[in-house]
Amino acid sequence: MELTKEKLCRMFDHTFLKAYATKADFEKLCNEAREYGFGMVAINSYPVRLCKKLLEGSDVHVGAAIAFPLGQMSIEAKCMEAKLAIEDGADEIDYVLNIGKVKEHDYDYIAEEMKAMVKIAREYNIIVKVILENCYLEKDEIAEVSRIAREVRPDFIKTSTGFGPAGATIEDVKLMKAMVGDEVKVKAAGGIRDYATCKAMIEAGAERIGTSSSIRILEEYLKENDG
């Protein structure tokens, strides 16, 4: 795939997920996303309604992070948060799976949770992404969750929240992509702050990039490609 400026911009989930985020931060985030034509703004669920209004008239999606960043909520609580965010205007949801259940190898629970979240997404015709938080997982655990995703068919599986001790790695993106094939897409997030890293993630199979450094990455891309 030839990576044009427009294609790169549409890959960005332009992110601001800090606990101290204010209205001014969301206004800045949304203005940047609108100006550059980024694919989505990634925010927590509370400011969805505000960001939807700020992005009115644009084709930038509003993405709500669900059970973020720990994933330690019941399936019912995650479903309720997702539904409320969608009712507020979310076009996409990124939910953190129950990491403890993965570590217990309770994959029936992980499948049940994933099916519940995908069911909501399909009912509302929105995009759903499953955040694995790979820094806490072994390779066989990443592979098994990816296998489940291939069967359940969320739109994306995602490497990280960006709040764990480590973020996306090329090795993990390749593993996830190998497991899901063309049935599910891969999003890389966490620690992607320059174009070289971003490009490597895309070459490894990522089709979305979650980052708060979207503008810097774009500027480096333009410099490398003569504007």
Concerning whether 155 is annotated as a catalytic residue, the answer is no
DSSP the chain: ----HHHHHHHEEEE---TT--HHHHHHHHHHHHHHT-SEEEEESTTHHHHHHHTTTS--EEEEEESTTT--S-HHHHHHHHHHHHHTT-SEEEEE--HHHHHTT-HHHHHHHHHHHHHHHHHHT-EEEEE--GGGS-HHHHHHHHHHHHHH--SEEES--S-SS----HHHHHHHHHHHTTSSEEEEESS--SHHHHHHHHHHTEEEEEES-HHHHHHHHHHHTT-
Which of the following is catalytic: 13, 94, 155, 172?
94
Concerning whether 94 is annotated as a catalytic residue, the answer is yes
Which of the following is catalytic: 52, 78, 158, 185?
158
Concerning whether 187 is annotated as a catalytic residue, the answer is yes
Tell me which residues are annotated as active site: 94, 158, 187
